[in-house]
């Protein structure tokens, strides 16, 4: 009768090259993620340091201002007790005026240093972006 031929199929399976495998893609994606994470952490650390420095300068400035105002108030209160003594009153007011002028200069110096550190940080950021 009829003879049924045996058909033989060969299936040739080629594995992809190493750079086309899923594991290589996952490894590259993980590496990119790790690099981005490290860069973000370093950037946040530098921002935290500059923020801490600015906060410290602001606290020192505020403490200095409060101390100057407290001493000025004590001196003015003492001068008010001797209200009739014009020479003592004038000397006291000159002292208070000089303390307040010094406090203003210290405050302006602190603000200038804060602005300088901000402009230096911004200049550094713009250079790093280029």
- At 61-72, the pLDDT tens digits run 788 878 878 888
Q: Supply the pTM of this predicted model.
A: 0.48
What pLDDT, on the 0 to 100 scale, is given for residue 124?
A: 56
Residue 2 is assigned to a structural domain of this protein: no
The confidence score (pLDDT) of residue 36 equals 97
pLDDT category at 121 given cuts 50, 70, 90 is low
In a domain, 129, yes or no: no
Query: Looking up tokens 């899923």, which residue turns up?
Result: 22
Whether 55 shows a pLDDT value over 70: the answer reads yes
pLDDT band (50, 70, 90) for residue 43: very high
In a domain, 11, yes or no: no
Higher pLDDT, 70 or 126: 70
Q: How confident is the model at residue 117 (pLDDT cuts 50, 70, 90)?
A: low
**Mean pLDDT, the chain, as a whole number?**
80
d(CA 130, CA 125): 9
Domain count, the chain: 1
CA dihedral for 98, 99, 100, 101, sign (positive or negative): positive
Residue 109 has pLDDT above 70, yes or no: yes
Q: Dihedrals φ, ψ of 6, to 5°?
A: -85, 120
pLDDT digits (tens, 9 = 90+) for 3-38: 666 666 677 777 888 888 899 999 999 999 999 999
Residue 59 lies in a domain: yes
Identify the domain containing residue 58 by its residue range. Answer: 18-122
Q: Is residue 30 part of a domain?
A: yes
CA angle 54, 56, 58 (to 5 degrees): 70
- Look at residues 67, 69, 60, 74 and name the one whose alpha carbon lies nearest to residue 113: 60
In three-state secondary structure terms, 5 is: coil
């Amino acid at each position: 009768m009829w003879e049924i031929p045996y058909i033989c199929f060969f299936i040739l399976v080629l594995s992809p090259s190493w750079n086309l495998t899923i594991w290589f893609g996952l490894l590259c994606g993980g590496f990119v993620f790790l690099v981005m994470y490290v860069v973000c952490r370093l950037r946040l650390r530098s921002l935290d340091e500059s923020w801490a420095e600015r906060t410290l300068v602001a606290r020192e400035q505020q403490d200095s201002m409060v101390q100057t105002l407290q001493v000025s108030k004590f001196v003015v209160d003492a001068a008010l007790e001797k209200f009739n003594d014009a020479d003592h009153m004038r000397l006291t007011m000159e002292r208070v005026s000089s303390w307040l002028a010094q406090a203003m200069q210290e405050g302006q110096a602190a603000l200038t240093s804060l602005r300088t550190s901000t402009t230096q940080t911004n200049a550094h950021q713009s250079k790093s972006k280029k």
